[in-house]
Structure 1
Amino acid sequence: MKTLMLASLLLLAGCATTGGADAPPVDVRGAEVAERTMDNGDMVQEYRVSGQLRMVKVTPSRGAPYYLYDRNGDGRMDNDKDSVSPVYWKLYSW
């Protein structure tokens, strides 16, 4: 009985943590996606909304994909104070 109750609680907890985790922080609905493969095997996907670059997903030939975003819509990838674009990795997913 305890095992059944624990299993059902774990199932519910897993379902509760999966919602909205895959949504990017910028609106890329209806975006045109251009894919290209670099010489080293990395795949680059550019997401453009109304011709403006909003998000870039880079999938290295070895390693986890990472993302670059344009959060404020000025057409340039967001920079920190040292003019270096922050890179975002997806660390955990179900």
Structure 2
Amino acid sequence: MRLLWLVMMMIFPLLGAAEETADPSAPPEQAAEEDLVPQVTIIQNDHEVIKEHRVSGKLYMIEINPKKGRTYYLVDTDGDGNLETRYNDLAPGIAIPGWVLKRW
């Protein structure tokens, strides 16, 4: 019984190693490294500084830093091209921004 157990313990790692050494399929064509570098456009006016973050020309985040107040962000979380905003029934014309509560 111990011999059978020993043989099984020696065979199972070999099966896992044989599976890992299989030739992977051709990797998908990777985007150029230049396209993956974020591009930041900074817009300054009297009341705030706006930073537009883009990757491959697609806007994915806007960082708004007002002169008075804390920085807030509008982010495209699902990649559909629309920045996610929330509206309140009490003031339908005002978008509720997202603030960073904690960073680590």
TM-score normalised by L of structure 1: 0.56
Who is 1:6 aligned against? none
Q: Tell me which residue corresponds to 1:12.
A: none
Q: Which has the higher contact order (CA 8 A, sep 6+)?
A: 1
Instruction: Report the residue type matching 1:89 in the other structure.
Output: W
Confirm whether residue 36 of structure 1 aligns to residue 43 of structure 2. yes
Q: What 5-or-longer segments of structure 1 have no aligned partner?
A: 1-28
RMSD in angstroms over aligned alpha carbons? 2.5
| Structure 2: distance between partners of 1:65 and 1:50 | 25
For residues 102 and 78 of structure 2, the distance between their equivalents in structure 1, rounded to whole angstroms, comes to: 26
Kindly indicate which of the two structures has a greater share of residues assigned to helix.
2
Give SS of 1:88's match: coil
Percent of pairs identical after alignment?
32
Give the structure-2-normalised TM-score. Answer: 0.51
* Shift, 1:39, TM fit: 3.0
2:85 counterpart of 1:75: no
Matched residue of 1:67: which SS? Answer: strand
Structure 1 position 85, deviation (Å): 5.2
Q: Match of 2:100?
A: 90
Counterparts of 1:42-81 in structure 2, within 5 Å, are: 42-80=48-86
CA distance in structure 2 between the partners assigned to 1:69 and 1:81 by the alignment: 15
Q: How many pairs does the alignment contain?
A: 65
Asked if 1 retains the 8 angstrom alpha-carbon contact of 2:64 and 2:71, the reply is yes
- Counterpart residue identity of residue 40, structure 2: V
Partner Cα distance (2:101, 2:72) in 1:
10
Structure 2 unpaired stretches of 5+? 1-35
